[in-house]
């Protein structure tokens, strides 16, 4: 077996593992969110299907898959279907640059638990985050409904505003680590022995806000805005076609961006070795789900911003803050001879 | 194996460029254009220019095409759908020019050394940044000033009369 | 009337704005709620017993010797049977009802001159459970029970006839007759749900 085939097989196995874990966890996050939301509101959440309602995602999946497909009149059918792919693909591709742990040796081969260890990993993150906007725009446009279209235009405004802030917020960490590669950033934090959240608290808060805006979570969920727009851009979709959008945006995107936040600010897989060789993975997943929990907790706490406020906050408050943060960081790094 | 990847990507690129030119519906045309941009990014990746691929996606695929999409989706649909026929006069001038340019590029590639794996750097991001902010600082800043001027002009044009 | 204008600074000072104090307050509220016991009743498997004065399906109290003294005066004009409705067909309930056509009441004169109620139908599909008919009843016959599962498979099922009304009331009296006639039999139970009320004076 040639070297090329071997590396291809290893990559395919990694893709299969990450895809399976991400999709499975994404489906189960629906259960987790419903349970958490229920208890926050002194309700119970799903309890009927399986113990603690654990089989609820499966039941939902069966329900969504067996629904009648309805396509609105006047819809642009190819674009209508393409929008689903355009929404789901970037969310999944985000997982390709997330390092889940340090490299290890298996049968004499060095294996890194990351699908694509490229030196532009953070650029890929931004690119995929903003490519997700096509899913929303085209789903709203193709379904020939004004509510859906208003939702997608709002999402476009939010994405354009927050992509800029996101890029500038992350630059501080890049300056400190001196690399754009995700493994490199984690390694830099391990070498320095300190998480970057302590050096870059402002950047972390900005990143958190951008993450909420990009994944359509409260308080920036103006594109869904149940009270005004029904559910915004995906209102004309039914069955599993409808199920894909929240799965991609609310769950996969949140998970992937939480993982990126862990990589950037919380030292990735670093942590005391309490589980032997598995402890890096444990720490990574624990930190990631801590953040996911925080996002969902925030979702069920805060009200929604007005549509005009969301972009105003981004351009008028966050962007200047991010710029000041970068300049400050650059000066300090330069002074200390970074 | 390289030729297979290159072949798939270039076929994808050619199909999407052809679609972008030939399709009547402007939204479909934009989608083909987006696909062409992504295919180009893929080609860059296959050639080892990761930074270029990333910038291609961020700047072209997202920033620029999104604005095309926003404009096309928000203007009245009757205006968009009007088909103005094939541009015959433009075609007569355009095709020879296209062939000429193609021949020039082909000649350049054939004679010159545009892609040489030996000069590929491991950390292209750092090198590009260094080059951009040392040797090419002046053109870079001039380009940003031009962009700023264009932005101010656009804001002035787009402002409502008071 | 003068309007006092408030800016952001009046209810959120600069420190609170920087450290997201209002966010943290909200988060602490939801976190506290997260660990509170849920108040949900899982309906088909757990069923609440409503308070005695709950306005559920209607019932007819029967003539069994427990009726108020006022009824004794007219007993001899009515042809009552033991264990049957003590309705006198006075149409007061129908008069009080905001939707009078939901009642259909008929009475006949028996050969001995007494009055017998032959029909008392209530179409609950039109009923809004306001309880005015119960208040209007002069002989304490019409009542409302604590039965609230009133869904049926046909419209005919939703029309209560006299036999079902009697059945409901007999059952209701057997179960709840001894309880004090209050919304919450125990103060503790009310306070658990709605909090303690501090009365002044």
Q: What is the ipTM of this complex?
A: 0.79
Cβ-Cβ contacts under 8 Å, B62 against chain A: 127, 130-131, 133, 163
**Banded model confidence at residue A49, pLDDT cuts 50, 70, 90:** confident
Which of B1, B50, B74 has its CB closest to that of A118?
B50
User: Residue C80 pLDDT more than 90?
Assistant: no
C58-60/A109-111 β-pairing: unpaired
CA distance B19 to B11: 12
CA distance B153 to C8: 34
Asked if residue C90 lies in contact with residue C138, where contact means CB atoms within 8 angstroms, the answer is yes
**Banded model confidence at residue A106, pLDDT cuts 50, 70, 90:** confident
**Banded model confidence at residue C184, pLDDT cuts 50, 70, 90:** low
Q: What is the pLDDT of residues B46-55, one digit of tens each?
A: 877 777 888 8
Q: What is the pLDDT of residues A273-299, one digit of tens each?
A: 777 777 888 888 888 889 899 988 888
How far is the alpha carbon of B67 from chain A, nearest alpha carbon, in Å?
9
Residue A275 placed within a domain: yes
Which of B1, B51, B62 has its CB closest to that of A4?
B1
User: Residue B119 pLDDT more than 70?
Assistant: no
**Banded model confidence at residue A272, pLDDT cuts 50, 70, 90:** confident
| Average pLDDT estimate for A41-66 | 86
Among B5, B151, C31, B27, which residue's Cα sits nearest to residue A298?
C31
User: Residue B101 pLDDT more than 90?
Assistant: yes
Can you give the pLDDT at residue A170? 86
In chain C, % of residues over pLDDT 70: 97
Q: What is the pLDDT of residues A172-191, one digit of tens each?
A: 888 888 778 888 888 888 88
Q: What is the pLDDT of residues A6-19, one digit of tens each?
A: 888 888 888 888 88
Angle at alpha carbon of residue C165, lines to C163 and C166, rounded to 5°: 65
Of the listed ranges B76-85, C41-50, C83-92, the one predicted with least confidence: B76-85
Of the listed ranges A61-65, A121-125, B120-124, the one predicted with least confidence: B120-124
Give the start-to-end residue ranges of the domains of chain C. 58-176
Please, which chains are in contact with C (at least 3 CB pairs closer than 8 A)? A
Q: Topology of C58-176 in CATH?
A: Alpha-Beta Plaits (3.30.70)
Nearest CA in chain A to B70: A153
B to A contact (≥3 Cβ pairs closer than 8 Å): yes
pTM of the predicted model as reported, rounded to 2 decimal places:
0.79
Full domain range(s) for residue A298: 69-335
Half-sphere exposure of C112 (CA within 13 A, CB side): 7
| Average pLDDT estimate for C87-104 | 89
CA distance A228 to A221: 11
**Banded model confidence at residue B6, pLDDT cuts 50, 70, 90:** confident
**Banded model confidence at residue C201, pLDDT cuts 50, 70, 90:** low
Q: For residue C75, what are the contacts with CB-CB under 8 A and spacing of at least 6?
A: none
Residue A197 placed within a domain: yes
Residue A216 placed within a domain: yes
Residue A116 placed within a domain: yes
Beta strand extents in A120-221 (DSSP E only) = none
The number of distinct structural domains making up chain A is 1
Can you give the pLDDT at residue C78? 84
Tokens 């299907």 correspond to A49
CA distance A218 to C12: 21
Residue A5 placed within a domain: no
Q: What is the dihedral of CA A57, A63, A68, A72, to 10 degrees?
A: -40
Which of B66, B73, B125 has its CB closest to that of A180?
B125
Provide the 8-state DSSP code for C36. S
How far is the alpha carbon of B129 from chain A, nearest alpha carbon, in Å?
12
Mean pLDDT, chain B, as a whole number? 81
Can you give the pLDDT at residue B130? 81
| Average pLDDT estimate for B92-104 | 90
Chain A, window 87-126: residues with a beta carbon less than 8 angstroms from a chain B beta carbon:
118-120, 123-124, 126
């Amino acid at each position: 077996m040639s070297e090329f085939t071997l590396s291809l097989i290893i990559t395919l196995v990694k893709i299969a593992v990450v895809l399976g874990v991400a999709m499975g966890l994404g489906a189960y996050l629906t259960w987790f969110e419903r349970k958490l939301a229920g208890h926050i509101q002194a309700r119970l959440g799903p309890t009927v299907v399986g113990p603690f309602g654990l089989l609820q995602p499966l039941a939902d999946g069966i329900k969504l898959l067996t629904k009648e497909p309805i396509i609105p009149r006047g819809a642009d059918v190819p674009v209508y279907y393409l929008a689903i792919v355009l929404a789901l693909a970037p969310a999944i591709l985000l997982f390709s640059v997330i390092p889940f742990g340090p490299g290890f040796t298996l049968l004499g081969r060095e294996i890194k638990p990351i699908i694509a260890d490229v030196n532009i990993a953070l650029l890929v993150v931004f690119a995929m985050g903003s490519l997700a906007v096509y899913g929303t725009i085209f789903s709203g446009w193709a379904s020939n409904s004004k509510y859906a279209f208003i939702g997608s235009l709002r999402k476009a405004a939010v994405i354009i505003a927050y992509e800029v802030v996101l890029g500038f917020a992350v630059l501080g960490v890049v300056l400190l680590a001196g690399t754009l590669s995700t493994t490199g950033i984690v390694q830099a934090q391990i070498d320095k022995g300190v998480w970057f959240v302590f050096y870059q608290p402002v950047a972390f808060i900005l990143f958190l806000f951008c993450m909420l805006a990009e994944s359509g979570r409260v308080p920036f969920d103006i594109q869904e805005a149940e009270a005004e727009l029904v559910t915004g851009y995906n209102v004309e979709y039914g069955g599993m076609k409808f199920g894909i959008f929240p799965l991609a945006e609310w769950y996969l995107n949140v998970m992937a961006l939480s993982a990126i936040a862990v990589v950037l600010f919380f030292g990735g897989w670093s942590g005391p070795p309490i589980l032997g060789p598995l402890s890096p993975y444990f720490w990574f997943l624990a930190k990631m789900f801590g953040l996911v929990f925080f996002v969902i907790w925030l979702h069920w706490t805060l009200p929604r911003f007005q549509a005009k406020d969301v972009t105003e906050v981004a351009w008028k408050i966050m962007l200047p803050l991010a710029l000041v943060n970068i300049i400050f960081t650059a000066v300090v790094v330069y002074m200390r001879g970074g | 194996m390289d030729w297979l990847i290159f072949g798939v990507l270039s076929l994808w690129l050619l199909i999407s460029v052809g679609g972008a030119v030939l399709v009547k519906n402007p939204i479909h045309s934009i989608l083909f254009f987006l696909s062409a941009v992504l295919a180009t990014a893929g080609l860059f990746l296959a050639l080892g220019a990761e930074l270029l691929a990333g910038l291609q996606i961020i700047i072209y695929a997202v920033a620029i095409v999104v604005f095309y999409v926003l404009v096309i989706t928000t203007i009245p649909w009757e205006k968009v759908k009007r088909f103005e026929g094939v541009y015959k006069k433009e075609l007569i001038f355009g095709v020879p020019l296209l062939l000429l340019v193609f021949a020039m590029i082909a000649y350049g590639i054939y004679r010159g050394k545009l892609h040489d794996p030996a000069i590929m750097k491991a950390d292209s991001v750092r090198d590009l940044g260094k080059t951009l902010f040392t040797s090419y600082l002046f053109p870079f800043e001039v380009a940003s000033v031009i962009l700023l001027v264009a932005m101010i002009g656009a804001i002035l044009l787009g402002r409502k009369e008071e | 009337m003068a309007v006092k204008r408030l800016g952001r600074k009046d209810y959120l000072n600069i420190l609170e704005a920087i450290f997201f104090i209002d966010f943290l307050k909200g988060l602490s509220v939801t976190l506290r709620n997260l660990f509170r016991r849920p108040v949900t009743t899982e309906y088909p498997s757990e069923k609440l017993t409503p308070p005695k004065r709950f306005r559920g399906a209607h019932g007819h109290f029967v003539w069994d010797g427990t009726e108020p003294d006022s009824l004794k005066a007219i007993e001899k004009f009515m042809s009552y049977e033991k264990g049957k409705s003590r309705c006198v067909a006075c149409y007061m309930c129908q008069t009080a009802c905001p939707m009078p056509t939901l009642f259909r009441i008929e009475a006949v004169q028996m050969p001995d001159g007494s009055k017998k109620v032959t029909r008392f139908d209530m179409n609950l599909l039109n009923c809004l459970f306001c309880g005015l008919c119960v208040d209007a009843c002069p002989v304490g016959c019409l009542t409302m029970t604590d039965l609230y599962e009133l869904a049926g498979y046909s419209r005919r099922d939703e029309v209560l006839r006299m036999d079902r009304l009697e059945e409901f009331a007999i059952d209701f009296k057997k179960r709840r007759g001894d309880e004090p006639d209050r919304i919450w039999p125990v103060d503790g139970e009310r306070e658990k749900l709605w909090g303690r009320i501090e009365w002044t004076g």
